[in-house]
Amino acid sequence: MPSRLWKRIGIGAAALAAIAAGLYFHLGVGTLAAQPRLTGTVARDTIAVKGQERSFVLYVPRNLKPKAPLVFVFHGSGGDGESTREATGFEFDQLADANGFLVAYPDGYQTTWNDCRKASPQPARRMNIDDKSFVEAMIAKEAAERGIDAKRVFAAGHSNGAQLSYRLALERPENFAGIAAISASLPTPENLACQPLNAPMPVMVINGTEDPINPFDGGEVRIGFTSLGTVLSTRGTAEYFARLNGQEGPPKTVRLPHRNASDPTFVEQTSWTMPGKPPVVMVAIHGGGHVVPQRYFQYPGMLGRQTGDLDAPAAIWEFFSKLPSRP
């Protein structure tokens, strides 16, 4: 199986070993059915962080203006910045063209991120790589060189990249105006390696109820025979941030329009939106898997179903675009 495929879908070395040992998922190939027309430019850059050279990909729209927002998109384990552009259907690039923000796709250490899961055996976690300083260095660099608004920085991620987004929300809340996490839930207290600052943070969580890796109702995260410890339920994750944000009222749940009668999935969105408090949005994809729903890239069947009722990059940007600047 080509290594580039695994980079697209976020399967790391530990997972490859499990697959070789007889992982029971039906193997398939992710495909890019089409690509949106893009008018911006792709730039590749490096930055030195505590003696290590770290790399990242930037998508720069033609209409980028001073004080533009910056959106980070963090890949899953086994991925990199460039493959994540494809695995999200190049839609963040398309949204940047339409809305004038800068997109950064960083590369993790040995294709992984140092997240908050104490039990994670992934290289970045084992080596205790300082991804927080890497992210802060990129923010400072783009503020100096492209004039981005340091108070309008957002983090989005899938799987291991979503776990990094949680870590940034917990330990570096002063740097972000909001985060979005796909296919990931907060670690349980016994699996939490981070030290939360307990600061409010606008959060969107997008999880599938049939995710074969990250259990929607909480429990152990497994990739084949490899355990990454336990996580809260999707609801418990959203409620954690709702409490942190002072959202005392009951949430509102709506079902999104169903676009295709033959699609067995459906999507419910639960929102905590008390005025004057940072919002929290939980998107439950009933029947959905460990994927980023969008229009252009089709994930392999081993990762579960991909709904047609949600365009995740568009929903994430809509959420981010309505948030106020970070205090």
Neighbours of 16 (CB within 10 A): 17
Amino acid type, 126: R
> Average pLDDT for residues 50-57, to the nearest whole number?
96
Nearest to 10 by CA among 233, 167, 223: 223
Distance CA 46, CA 134 (A): 10
pLDDT for 219 equals 98
Q: Which residue has the tokens 């294709």?
A: 111
Element (H, E) at 166: helix 160-171
Per the CB < 8 A criterion, the answer to whether 208 and 287 are in contact is: yes
> Average pLDDT for residues 284-295, to the nearest whole number?
98
Domains in the chain, start-ordered, CATH in brackets? Answer: 3-310 (3.40.50.1820)
How deeply is 236 buried, as exposed, middle or buried, from its count of CB atoms within 10 A (0-12, 13-18, 19+)? middle
pLDDT for 327 equals 86
Angle in degrees, 0-180, between the axes of helices 91-99 and 312-321, rounded to the nearest 10: 30
Per the CB < 8 A criterion, the answer to whether 38 and 25 are in contact is: no
Lowest-confidence range among 1-15, 120-134, 188-202, 282-296? 1-15
Residue 111 tokens, joined: 């294709």
For residue range 221-254, what is the model confidence (pLDDT) as tens digits?
A: 999 889 999 999 999 999 999 999 999 989 999 9
pLDDT for 29 equals 56
For residue range 8-39, what is the model confidence (pLDDT) as tens digits?
A: 444 444 444 333 333 323 334 578 888 889 99
Look over the chain and give the mean of its residue pLDDT values, rounded to a whole number: 92
Amino acid type, 290: H
pLDDT for 14 equals 42
Would you place residue 3 in the very low, low, confident or very high pLDDT band (cuts 50, 70, 90)?
Answer: very low
Nearest to 138 by CA among 165, 103, 110: 103
For residue range 85-101, what is the model confidence (pLDDT) as tens digits?
A: 999 999 999 999 999 99
Nearest to 283 by CA among 156, 120, 190: 156
